[in-house]
């Protein structure tokens, strides 16, 4: 949508999953990501927020080319990688990495921490034994798993959830990637550890100049984490802009509902009902016509169920897909 | 004049485990007024769910110690046999919505039957009559009556949560224990369920015992907050006081760790990890993580000090009163 001097540019990206009810029946498609465009600058952090089933994880994984896009383009450093084959993607694998939700399942239990961190270096034929050792010590120090020698020789079962997630972060950083996607990196961790891990990620992102996509359902934590906020609903990015503007001046009725739904600790909360639209996100096989939020929208107009809204820019660099902002 | 609907005095629940005795509930005294909501907050593994289970007496086999006093609606339930408790108290006076309950609905039974089940078991009602009551209970929680014929897989997450709420309501209990009732739901659905719980509380004068680790969410229901750490209640305060000015150092740390949407406050994390319930620290159990700890905290367990108008804190700082520390 903006920022042409970017690292990553996504144009009209679609990822539909084929689903068959029986062998002979016609396939139906789950439109997990449906026509998404945006760009991300070098060293920039963005948050991608949506409810479960909104397509945020699919979008992240498609960008990393863990899924093949159905349509559209993914352009990295002016190279189009949307249709590249696995061999052509080796350089891309080296420059990108992912941190997933479940640190308990993400690390092989029969490898020591050292071996886990060495794996990506071996795959990408990085340096000799000594250079690898140096790099592994470097990343362990960065994620503050010290004393390093102690942790390097441990196995995953000997660590706590927070420590495991630090290992997962270290592993994501071993090859010095340019783009990291963290998909709900703290939702499985104890509340008291979450802030610690998020602070660490933010610090590393800044110090190492990584472009970062933080994928989450938890809007409250994004504020401390990124400059830009993208809100996803039913496979589409329905609002995006600078963090402060989106949070304090939401332009899409869905974003407004999402913000209304989140309490800050306040004794007055118990006395009032929250102003929330009823219903739940739509089925992505047969999404509603026109604007996908129209069945739940309190401001629904005639046009909303007939025509899909285009992207409007009601404020500078603040975009929304909602007919309310059409300039007549 | 409002009266206590639930009172616990010196409640103790210890489990036997391989590594030793797990002191999950350690001499807890707590009370709940009729129509009042209490939020029990604390980190995972501090014994919140164990306290609830001790109250509704749904205990595992490996019990080491289970004693103290529990008064539910004036009745001393510790003196009742298991049969009496099941027939007179559980689900009649106090019911519970379990954590993740929506995922434990029986997939091969129609929703209506599952909602009606407490009536069949606890009130020995006829099936047709019970199904009629189930229809009414579903409409109370905002689900069409025709849904009694549906199976759980036909419902969304939010609807399943409404179904288990209907199950907890159907016998008209005075108290409902909510154990992380929205932990698997999206924020908008969560807000809808909170709206429902607020409405039910108002219409029916229900008392909630609301267990959560989410401080921001606790403020949606709580008239009163109890902070639990290492099997003990560290502070009890009214909502008006707690969210503005918590007293106990642990409560302060918890409040400071909450990320907020509308303020510029930066959340802080609590250094160290939660105390073990098997080998808890000496003296005050929070002392290894407490920024205000002094000698006495390591040696002696603090009693619960009364800071005035029902505000209690288990911390040596308040030996001389609040504000004088």
Could you report the per-residue pLDDT of A191-209, keeping only the tens digit for each?
778 888 999 999 999 999 9
A:78-137 residues touching chain B, CB 8 A cutoff: none
Q: What pLDDT does residue B325 have?
A: 55
A221: closest chain B residue by CA = B259
Longest dimension (CA), chain B: 66
pLDDT (average), residues B136-148: 91
pLDDT (average), residues B144-155: 92
Query: Worst-scoring range by mean pLDDT, A144-153, A187-196, B308-317?
Result: A187-196
B224: closest chain A residue by CA = A267
Task: Tell me the per-residue pLDDT of A238-277, one tens digit each, with 9 for 90 and over.
Answer: 999 999 999 999 999 999 999 999 999 999 999 999 998 8
CATH of the domain at A242: 3.40.50.300
Q: Give the count of beta carbons closer than 10 Å to the beta carbon of residue B107.
A: 9
**What is the band of B1 on the pLDDT scale with cuts at 50, 70, 90?**
very low
Q: Is B229 exposed, middle or buried, given 0-12, 13-18 or 19+ CB atoms closer than 10 A? A: buried
Q: At what angle do helices A113-123 and A161-173 cross, to 10 degrees?
A: 20
pLDDT (average), residues A118-122: 95
pLDDT (average), residues B237-265: 93
Contact A274 B194 (CB under 8 A): yes
**What is the band of A23 on the pLDDT scale with cuts at 50, 70, 90?**
confident
Number of helical (H) and strand (E) elements in chain A, helices listed first:
11, 12
Residue A54 included in any domain? yes
Residue A7 has φ and ψ, to the nearest 5°, of: -85, -45
Q: Is B118 exposed, middle or buried, given 0-12, 13-18 or 19+ CB atoms closer than 10 A? A: buried
Measured CA to CA, the distance from residue A158 to residue A145 in angstroms comes to 13
Identify whether the C-beta of residue A190 lies closer than 8 Å to the C-beta of residue A165.
no
Q: What pLDDT does residue B91 have?
A: 92
Q: What pLDDT does residue B264 have?
A: 85
Is pLDDT larger for residue B78 or for residue A21?
B78
Helix (H, G, I), strand (E, B) or coil at A242: strand
Residue B40 in tokens: 């029990």
Give B20's strand partners. Answer: B17
Contact B258 A247 (CB under 8 A): no
pLDDT exceeds 80 at position B184: no
Q: Which residues of A touch B266 (CB under 8 A)?
A: 224
Q: What pLDDT does residue A5 have?
A: 62
Contact B199 A52 (CB under 8 A): no
Q: Give the count of beta carbons closer than 10 Å to the beta carbon of residue A193.
A: 21
pLDDT exceeds 80 at position B102: yes
Identify whether the C-beta of residue B52 lies closer than 8 Å to the C-beta of residue B209.
yes
Residue B91 in tokens: 């689900």
Query: Cα distance from A193 to chain B (closest Cα, Å)?
Result: 7
Residue B321's region, left for phi above 0, alpha for psi from -120 to 50, else beta, is: left
pLDDT (average), residues A58-76: 95
Residue A11 included in any domain? yes
Full DSSP string of A180-212: EEEESTTTTS-HHHHHHHHHHHHHHHHHHT-EE
Q: What pLDDT does residue A37 have?
A: 95
Residue A1 included in any domain? no
Residue A58 in tokens: 């699919």
**What is the band of A3 on the pLDDT scale with cuts at 50, 70, 90?**
very low
Q: Is A56 exposed, middle or buried, given 0-12, 13-18 or 19+ CB atoms closer than 10 A? A: buried
Task: Tell me the per-residue pLDDT of A278-290, one tens digit each, with 9 for 90 and over.
Answer: 888 888 899 999 9
Beta-carbon pairs below 8 A across chains A and B: 113
Identify whether the C-beta of residue A74 lies closer than 8 Å to the C-beta of residue A36.
no
Percentage above 90 pLDDT, chain A: 77
**What is the band of A322 on the pLDDT scale with cuts at 50, 70, 90?**
very high
Strands A96-99 and A179-183: parallel
Residue A144 included in any domain? yes
CA nearest to B325, candidates B245, B260, B269: B245
Q: What pLDDT does residue A2 have?
A: 45
Residue A114 included in any domain? yes
Measured CA to CA, the distance from residue B161 to residue A220 in angstroms comes to 24
Contact B192 A266 (CB under 8 A): no
**What is the band of B277 on the pLDDT scale with cuts at 50, 70, 90?**
very high
Measured CA to CA, the distance from residue A326 to residue A317 in angstroms comes to 16
| Tokens 């929070």 sit on residue | B286
Q: What is the mean pLDDT of chain B?
A: 92
Q: What pLDDT does residue B324 have?
A: 59
Give A206's strand partners. Answer: none
Domain housing A40: 6-265+275-325
Task: Tell me the per-residue pLDDT of B25-65, one tens digit each, with 9 for 90 and over.
Answer: 999 999 999 999 999 999 888 999 999 999 999 998 999 99
pLDDT exceeds 90 at position B124: no
Predicted ipTM beyond 0.90: no
Task: Tell me the per-residue pLDDT of A199-246, one tens digit each, with 9 for 90 and over.
Answer: 999 999 999 999 999 999 989 889 888 899 999 999 999 999 999 999
Residue B285's region, left for phi above 0, alpha for psi from -120 to 50, else beta, is: alpha
Identify whether the C-beta of residue B147 lies closer than 8 Å to the C-beta of residue B176.
no
Interface probe with B: pick from A187, A216, A265, A283, most Cβ of B within 10 Å: A265
Q: What pLDDT does residue B303 have?
A: 95
Is pLDDT larger for residue A317 or for residue B184?
A317
Residue B62 in tokens: 């490996």
Residue A250 included in any domain? yes
- Cα angle A26, A235, A282 (rounded to 5 degrees) comes to 70
Q: What pLDDT does residue A223 have?
A: 87
Q: What is the spatial order of strands in the sheet that B75-76 belongs to?
A: B20-33, B4-17, B63-72, B75-76
Going B69 to B74 to B77 to B79, the CA torsion angle's sign is positive
Total residue count of chain A as it appears in this document: 328
Identify whether the C-beta of residue B62 lies closer than 8 Å to the C-beta of residue B224.
no
pLDDT exceeds 80 at position B301: yes
pLDDT exceeds 50 at position A4: no
B:207-246 residues touching chain A, CB 8 A cutoff: 213-223, 238-240, 242-244
Specify the number of domains making up chain A.
1
Residue A270 included in any domain? no
Distances (CA, A) of B161 to B98, B142, B194: 10, 11, 11
pLDDT exceeds 60 at position A1: no
Residue A229 included in any domain? yes
Q: Give the count of beta carbons closer than 10 Å to the beta carbon of residue A31.
A: 23
B220: closest chain A residue by CA = A270
Run of H or E residues at B237: strand B232-238
Strands A211-216 and A45-49: parallel
Domain B4-93+173-318 annotated CATH 3.40.718.10: no
B:10-39 residues touching chain A, CB 8 A cutoff: 37
Measured CA to CA, the distance from residue A33 to residue B280 in angstroms comes to 50
What residues does each domain of chain B span? Answer: 4-93+173-318
Is pLDDT larger for residue B320 or for residue B304?
B304
Q: Give the count of beta carbons closer than 10 Å to the beta carbon of residue B129.
A: 13
Q: What pLDDT does residue A139 have?
A: 95
pTM: 0.89
């Amino acid at each position: 949508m903006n920022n042409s001097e970017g690292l990553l540019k996504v144009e009209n990206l679609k990822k539909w999953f084929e689903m068959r009810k029986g062998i002979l029946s016609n396939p139906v498609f789950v439109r997990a990501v449906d026509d998404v465009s945006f760009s991300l600058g070098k060293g920039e952090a963005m948050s991608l927020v949506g409810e479960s089933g909104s397509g945020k994880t699919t979008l992240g994984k498609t960008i990393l080319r863990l899924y093949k896009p159905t349509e559209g383009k993914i352009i990295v450093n002016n190279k189009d990688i949307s249709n590249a084959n696995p061999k052509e993607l080796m350089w891309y694998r080296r420059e990108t990495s992912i941190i997933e939700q479940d640190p308990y399942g993400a690390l092989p239990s029969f490898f020591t921490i050292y071996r886990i961190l060495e794996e990506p270096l071996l795959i990408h034929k990085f340096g000799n034994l000594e250079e690898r050792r140096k790099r592994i010590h470097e990343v362990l120090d960065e994620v503050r798993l010290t004393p390093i020698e102690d942790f390097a020789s441990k196995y995953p079962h000997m660590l706590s959830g927070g420590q495991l997630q630090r290992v997962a972060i270290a592993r994501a950083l071993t090859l010095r990637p340019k783009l990291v996607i963290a998909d709900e990196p703290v939702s499985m961790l104890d509340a008291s550890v979450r802030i610690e891990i998020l602070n660490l990620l933010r610090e590393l992102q800044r110090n190492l100049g990584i472009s970062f996509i933080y994928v989450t359902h938890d809007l409250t934590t994004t504020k401390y984490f990124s400059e830009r906020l993208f809100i996803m609903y039913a496979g589409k990015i329905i609002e995006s802009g600078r963090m402060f503007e989106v949070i304090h001046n939401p332009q899409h009725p869905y974003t407004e509902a999402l913000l209304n739904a989140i309490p800050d600790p306040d004794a007055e909360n118990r006395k009032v009902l929250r102003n929330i639209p009823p219903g739940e996100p739509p089925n992505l096989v047969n999404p509603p016509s026109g604007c996908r939020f129209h069945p739940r929208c309190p401001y629904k107009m005639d046009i909303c169920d007939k025509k899909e809204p285009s992207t409007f820019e009601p404020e500078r660099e603040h975009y929304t897909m909602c007919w309310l902002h059409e300039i007549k | 004049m409002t009266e206590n609907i639930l009172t616990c005095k010196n409640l103790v629940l210890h489990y036997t485990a391989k590594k030793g005795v797990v002191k999950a509930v350690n001499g807890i005294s707590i009370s709940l007024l009729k129509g009042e909501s209490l939020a029990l907050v604390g980190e995972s593994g501090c014994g919140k769910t164990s306290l609830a289970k001790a109250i509704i007496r749904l205990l595992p086999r490996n019990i080491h110690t289970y004693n103290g006093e529990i008064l539910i609606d004036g009745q001393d339930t510790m003196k009742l046999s298991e049969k009496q408790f099941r027939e007179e108290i559980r689900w009649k006076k106090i019911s519970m919505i379990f954590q993740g309950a929506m995922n434990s609905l029986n997939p091969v039974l129609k929703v209506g039957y599952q909602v009606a089940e407490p009536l069949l078991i606890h009130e020995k009602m006829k099936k047709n009559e019970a199904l009629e009551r189930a229809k009414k209970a579903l409409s109370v929680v905002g689900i069409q009556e025709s849904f009694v014929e549906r199976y759980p897989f036909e419902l969304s997450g939010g609807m399943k949560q409404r179904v288990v709420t209907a199950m907890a309501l159907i016998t008209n209990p005075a108290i409902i224990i909510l154990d992380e009732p929205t932990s698997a739901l999206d924020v908008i659905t969560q807000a809808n369920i909170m709206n429902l719980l607020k409405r039910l509380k108002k219409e029916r004068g229900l008392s909630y015992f609301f267990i959560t680790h989410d401080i921001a969410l606790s403020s949606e229901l709580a008239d009163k907050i109890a902070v639990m750490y290492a099997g003990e209640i560290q502070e009890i305060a009214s909502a008006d006081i707690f969210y503005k000015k918590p007293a106990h150092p642990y409560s302060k740390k918890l409040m400071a760790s909450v990320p907020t949407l509308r303020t510029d406050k930066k959340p802080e994390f609590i250094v160290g990890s939660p105390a073990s319930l098997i080998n808890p620290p000496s003296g005050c159990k929070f002392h290894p993580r407490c920024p205000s700890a002094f000698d006495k905290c390591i040696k002696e367990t603090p009693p619960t000090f009364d800071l005035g108008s029902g505000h209690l804190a288990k911390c040596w700082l308040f030996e001389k009163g609040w504000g004088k520390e």
